[in-house]
Amino acid sequence: MLLLDHLWIVLALPLAGAAINGLLGKRWPQSAVNAVGVGSVSLAFLSVAELVREFSALPVEQIPWVKSYFPWITAGTFHVDFSLRVDQLSIVMLLTVSFVGLLIHIYSTGYMAHEGGYYRFFSYLNLFMFFMLTLVMAANIVVMFVGWEGVGLCSYLLIGFWFLKKSAADAGKKAFIVTRLGDFGFTVGILLLFWTFGSVDFGVIFGKAAGMPAESMAQAGILTSICLLLFTGAIGKSAQLPLYVWLPDAMEGPTPVSALIHAATMVTAGVYMVARMNPLFSRAPIAMLAVAIVGAATALYSATIGLTQRDIKKVLAYSTVSQLGYMFLACGVGAYGAGIFHLMTHAFFKGLLFLAAGSVIHAMGGEQDMLKMGGLRKKIPVTFWTMLIATLAITGFPPFAGFFSKDEILFSAYAGPYANKILWGVGLIAAVLTSFYMFRLVFLTFFGSPRFDEKTVHVHESPKNMLAPLVILAILSTIGGWFAAPKFWGGQDFFHGYLQPVFAGVDKLAPAPELAEEALHSLELQLSGAAVLVALIGFFVAWWMYIRKPEAPANLARSLHGLYTLVVNKYYVDEIYAAVIVRPFLWLSTNVLWHVVDEGLIDGTVNGAGHLARRAGGELREIQSGNARSYASWVVIGAVGVTVMLVVIWIRMVR
């Protein structure tokens, strides 16, 4: 029971690591920084493992396990404890986060070896781990919000890690600001939550929510508005339409950061939050629908953009966005379990993809343009094979991890409690595109003839401490799916069984349509067949375009010129935002807020006060004549004043 009683240890470890590295690490050798950074995270992972062991020994009635450490904010009826909560959902998240985090830390020791600010990097990473774990273990939404904003901060710091590079700094700012937009909604949602339930504690909220009647499509109520507001936060954090724009730019950050924060963990916080709030969402159908639609739309939309990107990391970024869209689609159709499952598998293979991409870039000496690569298959085999596995996983070939999760999402979109054929179709198309651009990536990078100058660029395989994580993640991406392999595939659906208690409410509210066993099987078979077929189509198209006829893409681009340019330029979304939002805002800030309000009002007031003080001082100064008799006279004046006052008071008393 050590860790169950002292959950804070899990958080304290990375925080301590961050503090030590951040404060002392500057003059330390890299080995020491590694020891602290990686050591703290590995300890955190071990403690999580121990926590899982203890948790599994816990009797059912004690779940969820909540521990409150100290009252944090108390204002009238508004009371917030710093309290942590552990249940199956957070266990899954904990394991994923801490393990992937650990691997990526190890990877970073190799990848960042030649970078300046080494200690800073690891301190930020550890800090990020701390906030992410806080977010996951939070027992009330305020503490969760702390983690939420904390990871945002770390993402900002890490995107702008090379802050001397303007694009990096701008990207960091962009990420921060765009996310803020979402967080605004999130904050309002929190207030609304408190206003509705009189508490911010998950236990209390869910308890009260369970008593509330489910709202229908016809009449949306407070729950709907809460959920929508919270979901805006999720949109911002998880880069969904229309706030996805920051994520591609976030690729300015070091690749491990992209892997950890912008693929595996942080961006999935939105999904986690929605899943965590499932008792509310399940009672707000409109919100559910919104989630599903946004998810599906994002999945398709960003997949299309992914088709034409040339920067290897950008491709992965857009694929991340679309995969997140899948997860929201899952949540939206009530298959939270599937969503979380896809979250986990995605963490594995997307992390792997990024790390592999990082390894490629490392091998290419910083080159990120796929059109300047090619034929790397032989030169960096380990990277190649791991990346191939990851690609198979993401495109959903059995028996890789992605297959099960994606298949499950599509299935529940087709036949789940909130089934919706259109969404299913969209998801399917997105799957085609996904497999296309992923294989495009693989072909462009590893096959064909080298399109770079072999003299200048001598490709080399990455060091062990970078390859080891790749291998481990590859293994996970391969077998990771079997947790959830449905009975139909001979698995025993461990994952759902495990998460069952958390999402119990949903199934009660919206039970899956009853189908006969064999009908179910046939349906599932057909759907998954479709999925695999789709993936194959994507594969062949990619193969045809980039292996058989390398000139085809150019022709296609020429023939569909307008569409092509549109997509290449990401539908000009950034430009539109710039024109519609950023410029007016800038103009407003410059001409109104700055020149009028700030300079005129605020500075005017402050300087005015200063001038006034100086003038007054200049006048009063004359009193200091240096003539002691004048001073004596002042004393006399004071004495007279006091005595007169006393006399007056005395008279009052006597009367």
For binding to another protein (CB under 8 A), which residues are involved? 621-622, 624-630, 632-634, 636-637, 639-640, 643-644, 647, 650, 654
3-class DSSP state of 593: helix
CB of 643 to another protein, least distance (A): 6
CB of 617 to another protein, least distance (A): 10
Which residue's CB is nearer to another protein, number 558 or number 629?
A: 629
DSSP state of 66: E
Tokens 């050591």 appear where?
A: 39
Question: What count of other Cβ atoms lies within 10 Å of the Cβ of residue 73?
Answer: 11
Which residue's CB is nearer to another protein, number 75 or number 628?
A: 628
How far is C-alpha 628 from the geometric centre of its chain's CA atoms? Answer: 72
Of the candidates 13, 5, 110, the one whose C-alpha atom is nearest the C-alpha of residue 382 is 110
Euclidean distance between the first and the last CA atom of the chain, given in angstroms as a whole number: 76
CB of 615 to another protein, least distance (A): 14
| 188-224 exposure pattern, b = at least 16 Cβ within 10 A, e = fewer | bbbebbbebbebbbbeebbeebeeeeebeeeebbbbb
Of the candidates 159, 287, 282, the one whose C-alpha atom is nearest the C-alpha of residue 228 is 287
CB of 636 to another protein, least distance (A): 5
CB of 654 to another protein, least distance (A): 7
The number of residues making up the chain comes to 655
**The token pair that represents 38 in the structure block:** 């990686």
CB of 641 to another protein, least distance (A): 9
The conformational region for residue 334 under phi > 0 = left, psi -120 to 50 = alpha, else beta, is left
DSSP state of 371: G
Which residue's CB is nearer to another protein, number 556 or number 632?
A: 632
Which residue's CB is nearer to another protein, number 600 or number 638?
A: 638
How far is C-alpha 300 from the geometric centre of its chain's CA atoms? Answer: 20
Which residue's CB is nearer to another protein, number 62 or number 630?
A: 630
DSSP string, 67-92: EEEEEEEEETTEEEEEEEEE-HHHHH
Question: What count of other Cβ atoms lies within 10 Å of the Cβ of residue 655?
Answer: 5
3-class DSSP state of 138: strand
CB of 631 to another protein, least distance (A): 9
Give CA–CA dist 503/89, Å, rounded: 9
CB of 173 to another protein, least distance (A): 50
Which residue's CB is nearer to another protein, number 602 or number 646?
A: 646
Which residue's CB is nearer to another protein, number 31 or number 627?
A: 627
CB of 613 to another protein, least distance (A): 16
Which residue's CB is nearer to another protein, number 57 or number 628?
A: 628
The Cα diameter of the chain in Å comes to 113
Which residue's CB is nearer to another protein, number 479 or number 632?
A: 632
**The token pair that represents 303 in the structure block:** 């997949």
Give CA–CA dist 243/180, Å, rounded: 10
Burial of 225 (0-12, 13-18, 19+ CB in 10 A): middle
Which residue's CB is nearer to another protein, number 218 or number 623?
A: 623
Q: Residue 498 is which amino acid?
A: Y
CB of 608 to another protein, least distance (A): 24
